Chains A and B, each alone.
Chain A
């Protein structure tokens, strides 16, 4: 389960396909009594931790659920504002689950476009002639691999840093794209990909890589 997500970005930088495989999320659930020593702030439809990092709860983590019930944006499932709810000592002791916030579709769109620009800047700032854009970006928790085709489509994979076989997987996804998206008569170029066969074959390809590590010459 070491491939986190797949993104496909069109020529103009718009996200046309996104798939999230299983991702390990850092989460912590704890029971608190009044008063709450963690400072929370509302940010963009989420409640984030701004101060009071401890026990696996980090600054930047979002409140995911209260007493086992997932939040609905800034309100609990019954519609009460979370910050007000947590100011009232009557509601304590309360069990809160914190974790890294999941990306909304809007955020994924923005991040894909951001990467599209960063890819181009990487090529512009190159000290060598004829450089491509960013093909691999490494951090301590994940590696991002990008393959840009001759037609300008980018296939982006986020995977565990130790995962191998991603280069051949990127070529394989390009094959799957041309077989099940481009050859689909109802699919228009540069538009979001909504082809069932593309989804199915992509999942199969990811499973093969996660189990075996790499594709053989015959596939």
Chain B
């Protein structure tokens, strides 16, 4: 339903009466060992000040620690676990599959819970490459060139404001 929306489809903007503009800053994909499978950036205003490799490691390490922290702190048994966190300027959304693949998305504060969007990014709709796992190692399969993957991920992001606006649900 939602994935078949393409950028520039006429009539999409008619739902704007309740839609808010939302920004997706960047997206990380990690495998179960912590290796970064994919990173996309659309609207990032500030770099971390360290090399990309170190940034991936820091991000993965932070998420690993948050998961263990949340596991210990929780008063009840958790089903989904850690979902999101937010600061004064951005919100980080987290989704982990049972196979250990982690999808992490940074957005602005207006975005509500978008766990199913992250699941769609992982499983791949008609327009996207999902993450395909082959034994061993885990491979991120590209059906076309690198450029078209980014283009497709960008289309999802541009479709995302409408995915997430209340009118669409």
Binds A, one of B13-21, B77-85, B130-138: B77-85
Residue B147 interfacial (CB < 8 Å): no
Binds B, one of A34-42, A69-77, A136-144, A189-197: A136-144
Contact B85 A127 (CB under 8 A): no
Contact B69 A140 (CB under 8 A): no
Q: Which of A26, A121, A142 contacts B73 (CB 8 A)?
A: A142
Distance (whole angstroms) from the CB of A26 to the closest CB of chain B: 5
B85-122 residues with Cβ-Cβ distance < 8 A to A are 85-90, 92, 106, 108
CA distance A136 to B82 in the complex (A): 12
Contact B90 A139 (CB under 8 A): no
Q: Which of B25, B45, B62, B78 contacts A122 (CB 8 A)?
A: B62
Contacts of B58 in A (CB 8 A): 121, 124-125
B136-153 residues with Cβ-Cβ distance < 8 A to A are none
Interface size class of B (residues with CB under 8 A): 35 or more
CA distance A140 to B41 in the complex (A): 28
Residue A9 interfacial (CB < 8 Å): no
Given A23-B75, A141-B75, A142-B74; A136-B85 close (CB under 8 Å): yes
Contacts of B66 in A (CB 8 A): 118, 137
A97-143 residues with Cβ-Cβ distance < 8 A to B are 100, 103, 107, 111, 114-115, 117-118, 121-142
Q: Across the two chains, which residue of chain B brings its CB closest to A59? A: B77
Contact A125 B62 (CB under 8 A): yes
Given A24-B76, A127-B106; A114-B69 close (CB under 8 Å): yes
Contacts of A66 in B (CB 8 A): none
A50-96 residues with Cβ-Cβ distance < 8 A to B are 58, 60
Q: Across the two chains, which residue of chain B brings its CB closest to A107? A: B72
Contact A115 B69 (CB under 8 A): yes
CA distance A4 to B65 in the complex (A): 21
Residue B11 interfacial (CB < 8 Å): no
Contacts of B158 in A (CB 8 A): none
CA distance A130 to B88 in the complex (A): 8
Contact B88 A127 (CB under 8 A): no
CA distance A104 to B70 in the complex (A): 16
Residue A211 interfacial (CB < 8 Å): no
Given A127-B26, A129-B46, A131-B87; A118-B78 close (CB under 8 Å): no
Residue A170 interfacial (CB < 8 Å): no
CA distance A100 to B43 in the complex (A): 42
Q: Across the two chains, which residue of chain A brings its CB closest to B107? A: A127
Contact B73 A135 (CB under 8 A): no
Distance (whole angstroms) from the CB of A164 to the closest CB of chain B: 16
Contacts of B90 in A (CB 8 A): 126-128, 131
A-B contact pairs, 26 of them (CB 8 A): A4-B75, A23-B75, A25-B75, A26-B75, A26-B77, A100-B76, A122-B87, A122-B92, A125-B48, A126-B89, A127-B44, A128-B25, A128-B45, A128-B108, A129-B45, A131-B90, A132-B88, A135-B88, A138-B82, A138-B84, A138-B85, A139-B78, A139-B80, A139-B82, A140-B78, A141-B77
For the complex of A and B, the 9 pairs showing the least CB-CB separation, nearest first, are: A127-B25, A131-B89, A128-B89, A132-B88, A127-B44, A137-B85, A23-B75, A140-B80, A141-B76
